[in-house]
């Protein structure tokens, strides 16, 4: 069982015990992944009506949290993509053997935010696209970087943008993000939804994910909204 799985099991408890706190005390000295300021895509999608983007970039708590604070996003739901329905279950996905990646289904209004802008945020503040089958402290293929496209145009934009960023050498290593057509998206269990908003002070969230939202606010101020767009319309509890 990975460190990420152990951490999440601890965080699902009503309170964080001394062992969980001690575990996070030994974590790396920097929070989350460093944001990278990158250029927008040279080519963007021309879309109308509510569209869907599905992205995987490590733990879905942080990915969902960032896009729930992004203007133009109608909804952002944590879930699983890449495997089949029978294995779209957290306990199975956590083994890293199902083919699934922890993913977020983002429904957005192209009149307010383009697909290219969503990808720019994804590559800049959401995760480090040069890490293979891991993200920060989380390891395994379920934490891989992936873009599941819902149209040919999305695939063309994603492929072109990755090529553009690699050519510009904005990262010290090549991007390893895989681009492929979405086969299916399966929403995650209810306790995973709105997790960042509901548990902002839990150690994993505070250390790894809150900085991503702060980077969104700093780097993409025009795209940031203070009140998150929640799945359950839940009230915040610390």
> Domains in the chain, please, with CATH?
3-223 (3.30.1060.10)
Query: Where do runs of H (alpha helix) occur along the chain?
Result: 3-11, 18-25, 60-68, 90-93, 115-121, 152-168, 195-198, 203-204, 210-219
Q: For residue range 15-31, list pLDDT tens digits in order.
A: 233 323 333 333 333 34
Q: Which of 35, 59, 213, 231 is catalytic?
A: 59
Contact 171, 34 (CB under 8 A): no
Kindly report the pTM of this predicted structure. 0.87
- Mapping DSSP to helix (H, G, I), strand (E, B) and coil, where does residue 235 land? coil
Q: Dihedrals φ, ψ of 182, to 5°? A: -70, 125
Is the pLDDT reported for residue 9 higher than 60?
A: no
- What is the share, in percent, of the chain residues with pLDDT greater than 70? 84
> Is 59 considered catalytic here?
yes
């Amino acid at each position: 069982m990975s460190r990420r799985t152990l951490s999440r099991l601890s965080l699902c408890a009503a309170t964080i015990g001394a062992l969980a706190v001690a575990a996070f005390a030994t974590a790396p000295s920097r929070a989350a992944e460093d944001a990278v300021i990158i250029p927008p895509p040279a080519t963007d999608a021309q879309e109308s009506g509510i569209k869907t983007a599905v992205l995987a970039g490590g733990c879905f708590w942080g990915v969902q949290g960032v896009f729930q604070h992004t203007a133009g996003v109608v909804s952002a739901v944590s879930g699983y993509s890449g495997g089949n329905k029978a294995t779209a279950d957290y306990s199975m996905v956590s083994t890293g053997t199902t083919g699934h990646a922890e993913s977020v289904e983002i429904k957005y209004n192209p009149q307010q935010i383009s697909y290219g802008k969503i990808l720019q945020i994804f590559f800049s503040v959401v995760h480090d696209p040069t890490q293979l089958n891991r993200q920060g402290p989380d390891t395994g293929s379920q934490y891989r970087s992936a873009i599941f496209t819902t149209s040919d145009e999305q695939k063309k934009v994603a492929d072109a943008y990755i090529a553009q960023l690699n050519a510009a050498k904005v990262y010290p290593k090549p991007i390893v993000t895989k681009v492929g057509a979405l086969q299916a998206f399966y929403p995650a269990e209810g306790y995973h939804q709105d997790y960042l908003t509901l548990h902002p002070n839990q150690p994993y969230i505070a250390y790894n994910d809150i900085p991503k939202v702060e980077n969104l606010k700093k780097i993409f101020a025009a795209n940031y909204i203070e009140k998150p767009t929640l799945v359950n319309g839940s009230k915040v509890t610390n």
